[in-house]
Amino acid sequence: MSVLLFTTLIFETSLFAGLLGALTGLGGGVVIVPALVLLFKVDLRYAIGASLVTVIATSSGAAAAYVKEGLSNIRIGMFLEVATTLGALLGAYLTAKISSHFIAILFGAVLLYSAYASFRGRTRDKLITKETPLATSLQLSGTYPTPDGPERYHAQHVPLGFGIMFGAGTLSGLLGIGSGAVKVLAMDQAMGLPFKVSTTTSNFMIGVTAAASAGIYLARGYIDAGIAMPVMLGVLMGSMIGSKLALQR
């Protein structure tokens, strides 16, 4: 296959993956990795390397739109990034220790969970407003607009949320994905934050988490320019079109 044909096919597939990722809320990474491995017989390590680069691009690109809504919580995000970045370092380190076979199985499980979570959607309407000493000293609270005016929320179960975030970071570093679904699980389910606050804050965190494993991926040679280039440009363009379409619905 010529370089031109190969690059074009990868670009088109990535465009479609980005579109699908944005429309379903799964994210581009979780779609493009299996596509590269199964359709193009790309080694899993090159696939997760290209995907990780893409994850940084799409989440940073989308952050601008989310900030306008004013729902993401910068302190909760930063505090939990301590957990996700440490987890990401561990995950990136583990990619060299664990067999590709096991990584593929884990990938399937995360993909299924993400699909389940994205179709389940929001689960709780009632805000929990109980203050906990830990959340108060860490300023893990904020206000959220409701039909009856702005209401204050406070993070619950902070250690549990922090722990799940560490796991989300590990998965991100191990699989080269944003693992947004697991981040939302930690904030929405465990910490009882409003759903919209969870999703927008999660998006804000994804880029920083991915950057933590990217350095190690670079050192190992997982990020190959020839394959990362069409994947990044394709997914970025696809998810931009996808989020425009999603807004029009």
Contacts to another protein by CB under 8 A: 1-7, 40-46, 53, 56-57, 60-61, 63-64, 66-68, 70, 72, 74-75, 78-79, 81-82, 85-86, 88-89, 92, 138-139, 207-208, 210-221, 223-230, 232-233, 236
Contact 26, 118 (CB under 8 A): yes
At closest approach, how far in Å is the CB of 177 from another protein? 16
Closer CB to another protein, 114 or 213, in the complex: 213
Of the candidates 14, 22, 58, the one whose C-alpha atom is nearest the C-alpha of residue 248 is 22
Task: State in angstroms the smallest separation of the CB of 68 from another protein.
Answer: 8
In this structure, which amino acid lies at residue 177?
A: I
Minimum CB–partner distance for residue 88 and another protein (Å): 8
- When the beta carbons of 140 and 182 are compared against another protein, the nearer one is 140
Strand partners, 153: 142
**Torsion sign across C-alpha atoms 121, 31, 45, 63:** negative
Distance in Å, CB of 180 to another protein, minimum: 15
CA distance 201 to 81: 11
Residue number with CB closer to another protein (43 or 151)? 43
Q: Do 168 and 174 touch, CB atoms closer than 8 A?
A: no
Question: Could you give the CA distance from residue 129 to residue 185 in angstroms, rounded to a whole number?
Answer: 19
- By beta-carbon proximity to another protein, the closer residue of 124 and 136 is 136
Q: CA-to-CA distance for 91 and 96, rounded, in angstroms?
A: 9
* Least separation in angstroms between CB 185 and another protein: 21
**CB-nearer residue toward another protein: 3 or 247:** 3
C-alpha 91, offset from chain centre: 14
